[in-house]
Amino acid sequence: MSGSPVMHPQTTQTTALSDDDPASESMMKSPTTSGREYRGNEYPIPATMKAWVLGDPEELALVEKPVPQPGPAEVLVRVDAIAVCATDIEIIRHGLPAMVDGGLPFNRGFTPGHEYMGTVVRLGPSVDEFEIGDRIAVEVHAGCGRCQRCREGMYTACLNYGYPRKGHRANGFSTDGGFAEYAVNSVNTMVHVPDDMTDEEATLVVTAGTAMYGLDVMAGIIAGEGVVVIGPGPIGLMGVGVAKALGAQPVILSGTRDRRLEIGRRLGADEIVNVTREEPVAAVERITRGKGVQYVLECSGAPNAVDEAARMVNRGGRICLAAFPANPVPVDLAYLVRNNIYVFGIRGEGRSATHRAAALMAQKRFDAKLIHTHTFPLTEVPTAIRYARERIEDAIKVVVKIREK
């Protein structure tokens, strides 16, 4: 790669395979003819692909762009399905938290989308962790592997976030994502999908991974301990499923929408609390007979959520914030300090949480499919995003199915 500080995202993702690289020999059974048409693979891979790219804010266009090539420790994934995330909507509207080459992602040929699954169709040099034809789900962040946080295993908090020339990648955030026919992934960002898991369900692995990471950072025992999940959005609902699968007791879900709360019950919530009918702190007190819970996973972003969570946990309890309010809010800090309450913030799905969430899903410990509500084809990504953004027909997880099997 050149030392130029500003690079086009496409060039940063297109690590050319060298014909004389011994590690790539096995994939080069027959020589390339055009330099773009890859041969010697089980899957024929075209030179170009359909991909949605971000222009100005709120401007997505379906274009034809080169199929990226995997570098060392990377594979090319044929994207089979992708779920729309609230963060995609943020990125398309405001740019952040996506960051391409240190700047906003607009008008750089950037492809958003990060909750995808697919099939491995080409291996980069030295890759033996996966085989052509493997079905995989992805996590977002590969990190850079060279900064302090990545070395500590906190790759979702990479200090080189947004700088692919420093080796950082987070697909759909700082490198091209999955609203496209193909995407390059680091071998560190993929987990095998079992045959009996549908493409649609596999797109939910990353969401469940985020919920798992939230429980991880609170570093508790979970089994036999009380967990409140505030907010039955996709992460909250997956949080219920994961907490229950890990043996939490009781798991209490609070929110405003009966239909979503009911899905939470089917995912394993012992108690659901509709906050329009019962004050949630009083409800937790009632359910736990005044003891409170050990953990709150806050997934609502409501302005009063931290104060409420603080009164749901018992002394020494832990709160993980997986959502946040749009504006700064006052918080009763004295209450947190006096009661030795810990508050954590999480970004993404670190510590390989995706692998653990996928394992629980593969063992059918909770039914993630319950949150999948709508499906659209690749040509209708803007409609899919509109359904998710406006919660049309009570949409929870909207999936774009790119490949019909």
Interacting residues with Zn ion (CB under 5 A) = 85, 87, 143-144, 147, 150, 158, 160
Closest CA to 60 of 391, 324, 348, 389: 389
Residue with smaller CB distance to Zn ion, 158 or 305: 158
String of DSSP letters for 292-316:
-EEEEEE-S--TTHHHHHHHHEEEE
Return the structure tokens found at 53: 């790219």
Residue with nearest beta carbon to Zn ion: 85
Torsion angle defined by CA atoms of residues 115, 301, 208 and 131, in that order, rounded to the nearest 10 degrees = 30
Residue with smaller CB distance to Zn ion, 147 or 237: 147
Q: Tell me the pairing of strands 293-298 and 313-321.
A: parallel
Task: Supply the minimum distance, in Å, between the C-beta of residue 166 and Zn ion.
Answer: 8
Question: Would you give the distance in Å from CA 160 to the centre of its chain?
Answer: 19
Task: Supply the minimum distance, in Å, between the C-beta of residue 42 and Zn ion.
Answer: 31
Closest CA to 268 of 347, 177, 391, 361: 361
Task: Supply the minimum distance, in Å, between the C-beta of residue 340 and Zn ion.
Answer: 32
State the amino acid at position 73 in one-letter form.
Answer: A
Residue with smaller CB distance to Zn ion, 237 or 248: 237
3-state SS assignment for residue 86: helix
Residue with smaller CB distance to Zn ion, 85 or 287: 85
Helix 86-94 to helix 381-390 angle (10° resolution) is: 110
Closest CA to 144 of 175, 167, 173: 167
Task: Supply the minimum distance, in Å, between the C-beta of residue 347 and Zn ion.
Answer: 11
> Rounded distance, CA 175 to CA 9, Å?
7
Q: Are 14 and 2 in contact (CB under 8 A)?
A: no
Task: Supply the minimum distance, in Å, between the C-beta of residue 50 and Zn ion.
Answer: 22
Task: Supply the minimum distance, in Å, between the C-beta of residue 147 and Zn ion.
Answer: 3
Residue with smaller CB distance to Zn ion, 24 or 160: 160
Residue with smaller CB distance to Zn ion, 92 or 158: 158
Task: Supply the minimum distance, in Å, between the C-beta of residue 143 and Zn ion.
Answer: 4
State the amino acid at position 92 in one-letter form.
Answer: I
Task: Supply the minimum distance, in Å, between the C-beta of residue 378 and Zn ion.
Answer: 18
Residue with smaller CB distance to Zn ion, 211 or 228: 211
Residue with smaller CB distance to Zn ion, 252 or 384: 384
Unique residue bearing structure tokens 């909507």: 89
Q: For 300, how many CA atoms within 13 A lie in the half-sphere containing its CB?
A: 23
